[in-house]
Structure 1
């Protein structure tokens, strides 16, 4: 999941969508269900190929695929509108950060009892995926995609600066030093980049630094912010010092974010990103390396943004058919096909033990590091409907600090005050 446009506030409409209508229960013949996948190009072809295989091997269920009339980024408003009528699908691909909003709609199915079936292999999914698809004890779907943040580095730029490629045990001090040494302002080359456009792209890169230092985003009950702790000030302070003092950070104010293009064009030594960029880097013939995030006192925790296949309820037969399909789709053999087609990471631990897994690793250089880094993705962003507002306040604080307009404590304290006011409003 790319983080930039995932936190649409239109999600709030899901909480108040009508639970009226309801299609008539299909009594005979194959159970027909529809999936809105929101995928494009290679990913769309892969999911359609897998659905075709399912239909051939499961005559009692007929799955129809649609894009949903939107890309994955635009799926939430499409679902929001559809849920006000009976024109909604049985399954939709939705970002994990939307789960708290989606779960509030009465038409969202509760799969908690279904996933207890041993045949589903629920515990084979990574823990952060299970957390992302579960809201207040209610399982609303199946994990669809998992990712995590790593550092990609340009081998040529590091070599030109006489810098040794980072190893798995590197620190944030190492990161800062490499960024400083590879920056060449006259040539328009920067050590790294950070978004200051006010979106989630800026924020989710900060959370690993916060977590590694022992901090957290919110209190466990999600009623108060804690990101302005000493750990938060230390985390943002590092990036601020790199931007303001070292001038080794390209401050990206573009809503579309230029980081990947800068990296592809050889103007960025290090880029914090995830597995979704690897096919593009291969196509651009970038000589890159991949390493897990720098660590703090040996802690290399990263951030992950799992996506979900969410199930919506029409009648019991269709819900059961949807879970049968998703159990099949997310099984190891089918997932290996999806991964090989798209470069996605394994959503189940058992996939890494399949014979064909090694072929997948060879197809996408660097993917092995990112796959192994799933073990460092221990937490997800707070599962609360208030998170988008909190994120926007923190993004503002990051921009103010990196532009040198204020100090990190003041920036984070102001963001915390705004966040606490929102968190104090009743509601999940």
Structure 2
């Protein structure tokens, strides 16, 4: 595409990006394309600021059903708002368990057999949590229960890490009709009770280091993280580490599968050129190359069958562990209009159960009541 030049502008992500885009829309200076996390697409769709993907997909330069079906379904689900697809994924991410093999050996655990279920996760974490000098404080923590202030910017990161535990217990976040949240089910109570118990058992109240610094200093044995952070772990030359799938819950295996999506703005002066870029970036050959160079996961299922990509994964067991989980990955379904608010309600429940030592069922019911009130208003 010699006639198309991509000019990149780097901006903060998350809420800051959404606010910047909304401001640009209001001033008629929106970009042609934005690389946006799926959780924020509803705000742009609600503002009628971005194109429906069907306008491009069904056109003469569009995608075939075979090409569309080759994209991992959860990635399309994550970008669907009010039954309409508003963006296509540029890359995929998931969560896996990173662990310190040497600390496993010191605790009498087999580093080639990481925890495979909740029971083992809890047992291993307790063995790996140590008060080395007998002063009543833990110098080494077995697992990071990722609890952050619900009022802070990291509340979405906390909810994203808790949701796979909800799925692993057989639960769901919301019903198909989007009229009622379901995270206060028995599955939700099981998942939050696990986090509450581990938070207390592993001395998380005194844990104050950034997770990557704690892992690098060998004060943290296990942590949940994504493939985007693998370069940081590879810099830890003093740590013998590996990656494993998330432990299975009482109902099933599950992990978070999502990523950032490309949305095309209605204010674009070059919508067809923007579409050509989107179509190009999701080609299997480009996805394979992008994954191998960036560490992100490919969005096309056929990439996993490409010999070049399989040969690459054979040299990168850490990334392979993330890729191997993709077929049981799930997306957080789009919650029309109220994703940000419901994220906050759920984050508040997690914070109250762990930091506040409140009953998991009680706080989940409170969050569900607030969420359902919002959902009922939009009907």
- The offset of 1:201, in angstroms, is 2.2
Instruction: Indicate how the Cα distance of structure 1 residues 293 and 299 shifts in structure 2: closer, same or farther if over 3 A, else same.
Output: same
Task: Select 1:304's aligned residue among 257, 260, 263.
Answer: 257
Task: Select 2:248's aligned residue among 283, 295, 306.
Answer: 295
Instruction: Indicate how the Cα distance of structure 1 residues 346 and 296 shifts in structure 2: closer, same or farther if over 3 A, else same.
Output: same
Distance 1:166 1:291 in 2: 10
Show CA shifts across 1:60-84 (max 9, x none): x42331215x133432222111111
Q: Which has the higher contact order (CA 8 A, sep 6+)?
A: 2
Task: Select 2:175's aligned residue among 210, 216, 219.
Answer: 219
Distance 2:315 2:337 in 1: 38
Alignment-derived partner of residue 331 in structure 1: 283
Report the secondary structure of 2:90's partner residue: strand
Show CA shifts across 1:114-158 (max 9, x none): 324445811111001111222223222221121111111110111
Task: Select 2:338's aligned residue among 374, 382, 386.
Answer: 386
Task: Select 2:129's aligned residue among 173, 183, 202.
Answer: 183
- The worse-fitting range, judged by mean Cα deviation, of 131-140 and 163-172 is 163-172
Determine whether 1:250 maps to 2:207: no
Alignment-derived partner of residue 86 in structure 2: 140
Alignment-derived partner of residue 111 in structure 1: 53
Distance 2:142 2:370 in 1: 32
Distance 1:228 1:239 in 2: 15
Distance 1:185 1:333 in 2: 50
Root-mean-square deviation (CA, aligned residues, Å) is 2.4
Distance 1:142 1:252 in 2: 42
Alignment of 1:76-115 (within 5 A): 76-115=18-57
Report the secondary structure of 1:309's partner residue: strand
Distance 1:406 1:352 in 2: 44
Alignment-derived partner of residue 135 in structure 2: none
Query: Is the Cα–Cα contact under 8 Å of residues 78 and 331 in structure 2 kept in the other structure?
Result: no
- The worse-fitting range, judged by mean Cα deviation, of 73-82 and 302-311 is 73-82
- The offset of 1:352, in angstroms, is 1.9
- The offset of 1:298, in angstroms, is 6.2
Instruction: Indicate how the Cα distance of structure 1 residues 139 and 416 shifts in structure 2: closer, same or farther if over 3 A, else same.
Output: closer
Instruction: Indicate how the Cα distance of structure 1 residues 225 and 110 shifts in structure 2: closer, same or farther if over 3 A, else same.
Output: closer
Show CA shifts across 1:188-224 (max 9, x none): 1111112232212222222122122222112222222
Task: Select 2:6's aligned residue among 64, 87, 96.
Answer: 64
Q: Give unmatched runs, 5+ long, in structure 2.
A: 133-137
Distance 1:252 1:109 in 2: 48
- The offset of 1:261, in angstroms, is 2.1
Determine whether 1:193 maps to 2:144: yes
Aligned residue pair count: 363
Q: When the two structures are superposed, what TM-score results if normalisation uses the length of structure 2?
A: 0.88
Runs of 4 or more, structure 1, over 6 Å off, are none
Report the secondary structure of 2:36's partner residue: strand
Instruction: Indicate how the Cα distance of structure 1 residues 393 and 149 shifts in structure 2: closer, same or farther if over 3 A, else same.
Output: same
Distance 1:421 1:137 in 2: 21
Alignment-derived partner of residue 231 in structure 2: 279
Query: Is the Cα–Cα contact under 8 Å of residues 141 and 308 in structure 1 kept in the other structure?
Result: yes
Instruction: Indicate how the Cα distance of structure 1 residues 389 and 314 shifts in structure 2: closer, same or farther if over 3 A, else same.
Output: closer
- The offset of 1:410, in angstroms, is 1.6
- The offset of 1:266, in angstroms, is 0.9
- The offset of 1:260, in angstroms, is 2.3
Determine whether 1:230 maps to 2:186: yes
